[in-house]
Copies of this chain bind each other. A is one copy, B any other.
Amino acid sequence: MATKIKDSSMNAHNLRVLADHCQVSEVLELISPRWKMQVLFCISQEVYQFSQLKKVFPTISDQVLARRLGEIVAEGLAVKFQVPDTMPCQVKYAVTKKGAALLEIVQSLHQWGQMDWE
List B contacts of A22 (CB < 8 A).
38, 41-42, 56-57
* Interface secondary structure of A, over-half rule: helix
Q: 19 A–B contact pairs at CB < 8 A?
A: A1-B110, A5-B46, A10-B47, A15-B55, A15-B56, A18-B42, A18-B47, A22-B42, A22-B56, A24-B38, A24-B41, A24-B106, A24-B113, A26-B113, A28-B37, A31-B32, A32-B32, A101-B117, A108-B108
User: Are the CB atoms of A28 and B18 closer together than 8 Å?
Assistant: no
Q: Does chain B have a CB within 8 A of A8?
A: yes
User: Are the CB atoms of A113 and B42 closer together than 8 Å?
Assistant: no
Q: Which A residues form the contact surface with B (CB < 8 A)?
A: 1-2, 4-6, 8, 10, 15, 18-19, 21-28, 30-32, 37-38, 41-42, 45-47, 52, 55-57, 76, 96-98, 101-103, 105-110, 112-113, 115, 117
